[in-house]
A and B are shown apart, each in its own frame.
Chain A
Amino acid sequence: MATLLQPEKVLYLVRGEKKIRVPLSQLYFCRYCSELRSLECVSHEVDSHFCPSCLENMPSAEAKLKKNRCANCFDCPCCMHTLSTRATNIPAPLPDDPTKTTMKKAYYLACGFCRWTSRDVGMADKSVASGGWQEPENPHTQRINKLIEYYQQLAQREKLERDRKKLARRRPFMPQAFSQHTIHVVEKYGLGTRLQRQRSGAPISALYGLSLKEGEDQKEITIESAQALDEVEPLPEDYYTRPVNLPEVTTLRQRLLQPDFQPAGASQLHPRHKHLLMKRSLRCRKCEHNLSKPEFNPTSIKFKIQLVAVSYIPEVRIMSIPNLRHLKESQVLLTLTNPVENITHVSLYTCEEGDPDDINSTAKVLVPSKELVLAGKDAAAEYDELAEPQGFQDDPDVVAFRKSNKIGFFIKVIPQREEGDVTVAFKLRHDFRNLAAPIRPTEEGEATSEAIWLTHHVELSLGPLAT
């Protein structure tokens, strides 16, 4: 019977950009828009970074600097497991007395899963427990930085040209003597600083200020273009006859973990710092309110803001399904749970003919016509054995049982198709009290929270027909 509790059995329709049918446990509820939201129709944002192995929070500025990698933890380059630091005692000569030796601690990195150690790649043992390990540097860094500077200079020049062209066009207030050509010439050859200072119009002088500086600076960054090679190294002769030592050759995945080096041999695989994970906050796209904001602390699983749908919308669950037969009416027992603390009134409606949302149902359903009343959720109710009867008058044909904030009720299902799964759909209408945003001042007390009626489209998949 646990299969009936699977979340995919009961789907709620979300009207976002696309209509999505998702179980209620995966939905969020924006109480400012009073609508259900799914993961597709909210915008995700990165909230905080943390290391998955040492669970240390990292401020985003530091994360940017460290390229989203933890300072202390390393990944095994062979199997991507977390490396642990091990210590051995090695004899080392005392600094002041070379003849005597004393035991010193030396630290090395080792993988507990694939038994890789930092000694395999030739990394010397370090004398400090953490912080001694360096990642190798990319040999092309210098050249690339120079290229970037060079192109930035070109880009600036182009921007200047562009700005000058733009300003050159809207120049009604310039004196006639300074035609565009003259200015062009003047700027290029930097004649007469005095003339330039007499310019009118603040923006133009600012621009010439720039060119003046550049002219004075005279430091043009030039780079030498890359030299093409005539010959490429051929494969060594013994390549054709040498047997391949497969564990020594790195796999593609291991290589791609280090994009800068991509070593072919396992003896050049250096460990990398562990990549961070992030915590995500969600925001409604329409009203820009946060729907979910996690705690800052990586070890905490709670949320600062948690507007999940299960805590606002009554949840429908299937309790028992009898044998369903083609064109025969059967009673299905459903439960309805009230997540909020005040009394909720729920009414159910069948989908009308030609309802555009109702595309999946393969059976007719008759829902109770009366309004169902659900008691509020009382946190202490489970401890209170002498619970007073709640005093609701229930129609025994409709309501099967009632227990604190949950009721079980019957719906009648008539499968219309001979084969396939039986799916039914109906509309659930309930009142929702928005306790969140008090529009009027709170002097009026509880009366400010007005009830608005929300309607949701619910689909149940009741499984195959009984043979």
Chain B
Amino acid sequence: MPLFEGLGSGGEKTAVIVDLGAAYTKCGFAGETGPRFIIPSEIKRAGSPEAVRVVQYNINTEELYSILKEFVHLLYFRHLLVNPRDRRVVIVESVLCPSHFRETLSRVFFKHFEVPSVLFAPSHLMSVMTLGIQSALVMDCGYTETLIYEGVPILSAWEALPMGGKAIHSVCGITMLVFSSALVDSIPEDVVEDIKVRTCFVSDLQRGMKIQEARFNLDGSAERPAPPPDVEYPLDGQKILHVKGSIRDSVAEMLFEQDNEEKSIATLLLDTLVKCPIDTRKVLSENLVIIGGTSMLPGFLHRLLSEIRSLVEKPKYRDALATKSFRIHSPPAKPNCTAWLGGAIFGALQDILGSRSVSRDYYSETGRIPDWCCLSAPLPDSVYEAGKMPPPLMKRAFSTEK
């Protein structure tokens, strides 16, 4: 435990840090080295047998409000075991989160749970905080999308691709149904996820290229490299699902295949670099940070690096990017908890947290959370030392300066 936390130290209680992801939510307290719990972002309702996903952007406000309320209730009273009224909240979230979702979430926290203050922190910025460097190129490979972002935020240079764990699940599920002995009509998603986590992996570049060629089979002569052994996966204690070896290595290829627009995860990175101002490119390319659960697939990082290095030689990028060196950081946490850890580090800074959060009084006066594109919110008086601290997060007044 950090030095400043003690039973009789007085002062504020540690803040609650929540990272609401599309698939999993990480929750815990500030100043700790890891989240207390990583739980699936869903709630079980009495009516339906399937769990309801919490992070949904398309449902109406009332329904979202009740789902979020139930979920946050579970977080506080089953996992964190603290009173909501006592502790500030830091929510680590993706920049692409719609305002409507953010507003509903803050309404749940302020109106129903009466927390003292809430701070919305962008997940990419938080991941950079775990490293102690000034700027980095952060790629978040999560469930619904892969998103790239800069620390010292250069907001104009972000890229996203709707290619993440969910896409892998659907491809994996379908392929398995087609190839394997179809004993079941459909395989539930958590089984697919389990199979993906336990048996699938990402091949290295040569092998991956061969698999892709064999799939598209343009010349008809490409041969698929020998698949890894099959796996027998027990289902429900009675049936056995034969997972063909070819599925194991080919599903992850989907992340690296270039679709019609020639976009894949690796090109995402390079496109972002191209969009950045020239003098930052070298710094950024040498400070790559990959976070997100999908990046924990075995072989992912190695493959990503090799893909980037091979793509840089292609004519599209060779002239645009002068830099050829790429380096990856390894943050002091697992990739799916890195953003949470950054939030926890930030949450341990009690004074700053106090000044940058949206307090309950402010919320009850104005009735809304200032958004990062909102210019009517007054800028804070605190001047930040350029390069040392991240710019003010509360009002989301990101500057487009370097």
Enumerate chain A interface residues (CB-CB to B < 8 A).
43-46, 49, 61, 63-65, 67-68, 138, 140-141, 143-145, 147-152, 154-159, 161-162, 165-166, 223-235, 239-244, 246, 249-252, 255-256, 259-260, 262, 264, 275-278, 280
B33 and A45 contacting across the interface, CB-CB below 8 Å:
no
In the assembly, what is the distance between CA of A262 and CA of B26, in Å?
A: 13
Enumerate chain B interface residues (CB-CB to A < 8 A).
2-4, 7, 24, 26, 31-39, 73, 77-83, 85, 113-114, 129-134, 193-194, 197-199, 201-204, 207, 225-226, 228-229, 231-234, 249, 286-288, 296, 298-299, 301-302, 305, 325-334, 336-337, 341, 345-346, 348-349, 351-352, 355, 381-385, 388-389
In the assembly, what is the distance between CA of A67 and CA of B80, in Å?
A: 9
Query: What are 6 A-B interface contacts by the 8 Å CB criterion?
Result: A43-B85, A150-B132, A239-B201, A240-B228, A259-B337, A262-B296
B34 and A229 contacting across the interface, CB-CB below 8 Å:
no
B302 and A151 contacting across the interface, CB-CB below 8 Å:
no
In the assembly, what is the distance between CA of A464 and CA of B43, in Å?
A: 31
Known A-B contacts A151-B129, A162-B382, A232-B305; A241 and B77 likewise in contact (beta carbons under 8 Å): no
In the assembly, what is the distance between CA of A242 and CA of B248, in Å?
A: 12
Within 8 Å by CB of B334, from A149, A230, A259, lies A259
In the assembly, what is the distance between CA of A229 and CA of B330, in Å?
A: 8
Residues of A within 8 Å of B229, CB to CB, are: 241-244
Majority SS of interface residues in chain A?
Answer: mixed
Residues of B within 8 Å of A224, CB to CB, are: 132
Residues of B within 8 Å of A275, CB to CB, are: 79
The closest CB in chain B to the CB of A252 belongs to B197
A154 to chain B, nearest CB (A): 6
Within 8 Å by CB of B231, from A141, A152, A159, A244, lies A244
B2 and A276 contacting across the interface, CB-CB below 8 Å:
no
A387 to chain B, nearest CB (A): 42
Known A-B contacts A147-B132, A228-B329; A159 and B352 likewise in contact (beta carbons under 8 Å): yes
In the assembly, what is the distance between CA of A179 and CA of B79, in Å?
A: 54
Within 8 Å by CB of B132, from A49, A161, A225, A256, lies A225
Known A-B contacts A155-B351, A226-B132, A259-B26; A68 and B81 likewise in contact (beta carbons under 8 Å): yes
B71 to chain A, nearest CB (A): 14
Give the 6 A-B residue pairs with the shortest CB-CB distance, closest first: A228-B327, A140-B332, A226-B131, A260-B34, A256-B38, A155-B349
B334 and A262 contacting across the interface, CB-CB below 8 Å:
yes
In the assembly, what is the distance between CA of A277 and CA of B79, in Å?
A: 9
A149 and B3 contacting across the interface, CB-CB below 8 Å:
yes
In the assembly, what is the distance between CA of A239 and CA of B302, in Å?
A: 14
The closest CB in chain B to the CB of A169 belongs to B381
A228 and B207 contacting across the interface, CB-CB below 8 Å:
no
B34 and A226 contacting across the interface, CB-CB below 8 Å:
no
Residues of B within 8 Å of A264, CB to CB, are: 298
Residues of B within 8 Å of A158, CB to CB, are: 352, 382, 384-385, 389
In the assembly, what is the distance between CA of A369 and CA of B85, in Å?
A: 48
In the assembly, what is the distance between CA of A457 and CA of B105, in Å?
A: 32
Known A-B contacts A161-B382, A225-B131; A246 and B232 likewise in contact (beta carbons under 8 Å): yes
B385 and A46 contacting across the interface, CB-CB below 8 Å:
no
Known A-B contacts A152-B349, A155-B351, A156-B351; A46 and B77 likewise in contact (beta carbons under 8 Å): yes
Residues of A within 8 Å of B355, CB to CB, are: 162
Known A-B contacts A44-B73, A49-B81, A242-B229; A144 and B249 likewise in contact (beta carbons under 8 Å): no
A232 and B301 contacting across the interface, CB-CB below 8 Å:
yes
In the assembly, what is the distance between CA of A61 and CA of B345, in Å?
A: 22
A20 to chain B, nearest CB (A): 11
In the assembly, what is the distance between CA of A232 and CA of B383, in Å?
A: 39
B81 and A63 contacting across the interface, CB-CB below 8 Å:
yes
A304 to chain B, nearest CB (A): 18
The closest CB in chain A to the CB of B234 belongs to A246
Within 8 Å by CB of A64, from B7, B296, B330, lies B7
Within 8 Å by CB of B33, from A61, A68, A144, lies A144
A239 and B81 contacting across the interface, CB-CB below 8 Å:
no
**Best-surrounded residue of A64, A140, A244, A255 (most CB of chain B within 10 A):** A244
In the assembly, what is the distance between CA of A251 and CA of B234, in Å?
A: 13
B351 and A159 contacting across the interface, CB-CB below 8 Å:
yes
Extra contacts, 8 of them, besides A68-B81, A229-B328, A246-B233 (Cβ < 8 A), are: A63-B81, A144-B130, A151-B129, A232-B301, A240-B228, A241-B229, A277-B81, A278-B81
A183 to chain B, nearest CB (A): 16
Within 8 Å by CB of A232, from B201, B203, B232, B328, lies B328
In the assembly, what is the distance between CA of A241 and CA of B302, in Å?
A: 19
A419 to chain B, nearest CB (A): 22
In the assembly, what is the distance between CA of A141 and CA of B2, in Å?
A: 9
B204 and A143 contacting across the interface, CB-CB below 8 Å:
no
B201 and A235 contacting across the interface, CB-CB below 8 Å:
yes
In the assembly, what is the distance between CA of A85 and CA of B286, in Å?
A: 51
A150 to chain B, nearest CB (A): 7
In the assembly, what is the distance between CA of A262 and CA of B384, in Å?
A: 37
Within 8 Å by CB of B2, from A43, A145, A233, A243, lies A145
A151 and B345 contacting across the interface, CB-CB below 8 Å:
yes
In the assembly, what is the distance between CA of A312 and CA of B144, in Å?
A: 51
A43 to chain B, nearest CB (A): 7
In the assembly, what is the distance between CA of A98 and CA of B154, in Å?
A: 71
A67 and B36 contacting across the interface, CB-CB below 8 Å:
yes
Residues of A within 8 Å of B32, CB to CB, are: 67
B345 and A244 contacting across the interface, CB-CB below 8 Å:
no
In the assembly, what is the distance between CA of A140 and CA of B113, in Å?
A: 33
A226 and B83 contacting across the interface, CB-CB below 8 Å:
no
In the assembly, what is the distance between CA of A259 and CA of B35, in Å?
A: 6
In the assembly, what is the distance between CA of A154 and CA of B387, in Å?
A: 11
Within 8 Å by CB of A165, from B4, B286, B381, lies B381
**Best-surrounded residue of A159, A224, A250, A256 (most CB of chain B within 10 A):** A256
Residues of B within 8 Å of A161, CB to CB, are: 382-383, 385
Residues of A within 8 Å of B288, CB to CB, are: 228
Residues of A within 8 Å of B330, CB to CB, are: 226, 229
Residues of B within 8 Å of A49, CB to CB, are: 81
Known A-B contacts A63-B81, A240-B207; A144 and B341 likewise in contact (beta carbons under 8 Å): yes
The closest CB in chain A to the CB of B199 belongs to A244
A402 to chain B, nearest CB (A): 37
Residues of B within 8 Å of A162, CB to CB, are: 355, 381-383
The closest CB in chain B to the CB of A69 belongs to B36
Residues of A within 8 Å of B33, CB to CB, are: 138, 140-141, 144, 260
Residues of B within 8 Å of A151, CB to CB, are: 129, 345-346, 348-349
A253 to chain B, nearest CB (A): 8
Residues of B within 8 Å of A226, CB to CB, are: 131-133, 329-331
In the assembly, what is the distance between CA of A433 and CA of B249, in Å?
A: 73
The closest CB in chain B to the CB of A64 belongs to B7
A239 and B298 contacting across the interface, CB-CB below 8 Å:
yes
B35 and A228 contacting across the interface, CB-CB below 8 Å:
no
A256 to chain B, nearest CB (A): 4
Residues of A within 8 Å of B348, CB to CB, are: 148, 151-152
In the assembly, what is the distance between CA of A264 and CA of B296, in Å?
A: 10
In the assembly, what is the distance between CA of A319 and CA of B131, in Å?
A: 68
Residues of A within 8 Å of B26, CB to CB, are: 259
The closest CB in chain B to the CB of A17 belongs to B111
Residues of A within 8 Å of B3, CB to CB, are: 145, 149
The closest CB in chain A to the CB of B231 belongs to A244
**Best-surrounded residue of A151, A156, A264, A280 (most CB of chain B within 10 A):** A151
The closest CB in chain A to the CB of B341 belongs to A144
Within 8 Å by CB of A228, from B83, B287, B341, lies B287
A166 and B334 contacting across the interface, CB-CB below 8 Å:
no
In the assembly, what is the distance between CA of A443 and CA of B77, in Å?
A: 45
Residues of A within 8 Å of B82, CB to CB, are: 46
Residues of B within 8 Å of A223, CB to CB, are: 132
Within 8 Å by CB of A61, from B7, B81, B193, lies B7
In the assembly, what is the distance between CA of A262 and CA of B297, in Å?
A: 13
Within 8 Å by CB of B83, from A46, A145, A165, lies A46
